[in-house]
Chains A and B, each alone.
Chain A
Amino acid sequence: MSDSLQIGTRSSDTAVRVIRKDSSLMRVQAVLLRHLYLMRASWPRIFELMYWPSIQIVIWGFFTQFLLTNSSYVAQAAGVLVSAVLLWDVLFRAQLGFSLSFLEELWSRNIGNLAVSPLRPIEFLGSLMIMSAFRTLIGILPATFIAILFYEVSIYELGLPLVLFFSNLMIMGWSIGLMVCALILRVGLGAESMAWLTIFLIAPVSAIYYPVDILPGWLQSIAWCLPTAPVFEGMRAILFHQGFSLELYLHSLGLNAIYLAIAMGLFIWSYHVARKRGLLLQIGE
């Protein structure tokens, strides 16, 4: 469906005749072009397209490999997978809760109001952490009751160590959330999808559903450099009646302190750059 319309010519010698075409195809092209321009200008958007399939295949590939050699794994400790899912969700919700609270301020163009107020960056980060804990509890508590009701698996049977696992995962979630916010401050809202997908980058090496031992040697080294792997190993140690491992807890806590310090440093640096470039009032797609 296209018919040509010719309109308006200028009187000067250099005039260019404007030729218009009523074309659905061109309008569709325009919309495609708008999104392709956006995608081309934002590497996180392209990265996201490749990200999920790769992460899924890595996690479930390792898990399948593990089950092939340890078919009695789940039978030995009822609820190990359900507990792993719940604790993983603590980490995911903590990070997402932190990043989303920050993104809400950008989406509503309220970040300028906060920046031009007596609110200090450290107070802002503190409030995001509290909001993250609040959002996590709202998300996780119903799920824990569903697990008890439908699967007779109570994560609360982990006892006091549950509080330690929970706090370690929360801190790791905040660290990743801080890094995501720092990235968004640097490159703009084009990186907002990072809030949902960054956490899954560490999922394969966090030993959520399978022990660290199942990973190739070089990945095991990476796993032990993350605070998450000791938490999930610690959870399995309790569920397999090996008791609470103080060593694993301190390992995780120490790494968390390092990650949190790095993440805060990154955020403060990004905030400084944003102030230097005037991005705080202009952050957008």
Chain B
Amino acid sequence: MTQLSIEVENLCKSFDEILAVRNISFTVAPGETVALLGGNGAGKTTTISILLGVLLPTSGTIRLLGQDIVRDRFPIMHRINFSSPYVDLPRRLTVRQNLMFFCKLYGIVNARERIAQLSDELELKDLLKRQTGSLSAGQKTRVSVAKALINEPEILLLDEPTASLDPDTADWVRSYLKAYQNRTRAAILLASHNMSEVERLCDNVLMMKSGQIVDQGTPCELLQRYSRTNLEEVFLDIARDRNRPNTSESTEPRENIEVGDI
């Protein structure tokens, strides 16, 4: 039996009186892409931050690659990576210096070869000597993707990976991530507002609202269930509590959903 990449069980997070994440459960299998979809304040970033280990959960269990990360996350940190709008790469370092820094941080011995490979694949060769702070948004995103893949992660956590990118660059990034996943069978958990991105990349979608998973399924299943033609309409139905499907499994916020089992 293949080990699941991400296992989240009864996860809760509260900030004083505010419940940011309410008892959610899901799994992500190797080679699977799962999206956390929901409006602002739905709990997507909180969930990803907990999985990254920068935020402690109030209760619940999280296993990444079989390791309980609440107890000790360091044994598997070299096997995961992430991209988030809340972090930057050091701006005064050149692109090459940045990539070298992250190679060392993740213990990559053949750093030069890895940087050469990523520069080739992500078309960074002309940027290697430039200061990261001087790059355009699209160029910075390509460097961030290189950083996120520097250790060839088995789990990739992406928070709004194509936010503020033009459609061409965003499409390019999505294609690259898909190709990477096909090659490595990495598990990807993605938080996004971009419905077309979710439809294109994701095998499963967890619809979040007020810290809960209120529905889930493949993009096709969700479209059928809500009788809609695109995920944006499904998103609006859920956000505005309208056109709710009659199936009993989808009418109430659900708990203990295992995406890998769908």
Contact = CB atoms under 8 A, between A and B. Distances in A.
A278 B105 contact: no
Interface in B29-66: 46, 49, 52-56
B49 A119 contact: no
Given A278-B46, A280-B54, A119 B105 contact: yes
B53 to A, nearest CB: 6
Interface in B137-154: 147
A118 interface: yes
B54 A116 contact: yes
A117 B77 contact: yes
Interface string B116-146: 0000000000000000000000000000000
Interface in B83-104: 84, 86-92, 102
Interface stretch (A18-26, A31-39, A106-114, A172-180): A106-114
B54 A275 contact: yes
Nearest to A281: B86
A40 interface: no
A108 B88 contact: yes
A8 B107 CA distance: 61
Interface string A115-157: 1111110000000000000000000000000000000000000
Given A118-B106, A119-B105, A277-B15, A108 B55 contact: no
Residue of A109, A278, A282 with highest tally of chain B CB at under 10 A:
A278
Given A108-B91, A110-B89, A118-B107, A281 B84 contact: yes
A113 B102 contact: yes
Nearest to A280: B54
Interface in A96-111: 104, 108-111
A118 B92 CA distance: 23
Contacts of B55: 275-276, 278, 280
B105 A118 contact: yes
Contacts of A118: 74, 77-78, 105-107
Interface of B: 15, 46, 49, 52-56, 74, 77-78, 80-82, 84, 86-92, 102, 105-107, 147
18 contacts: A108-B92, A110-B87, A110-B89, A110-B90, A112-B54, A113-B87, A114-B105, A116-B80, A117-B105, A118-B74, A118-B77, A118-B78, A118-B105, A118-B106, A272-B56, A278-B15, A278-B46, A281-B84
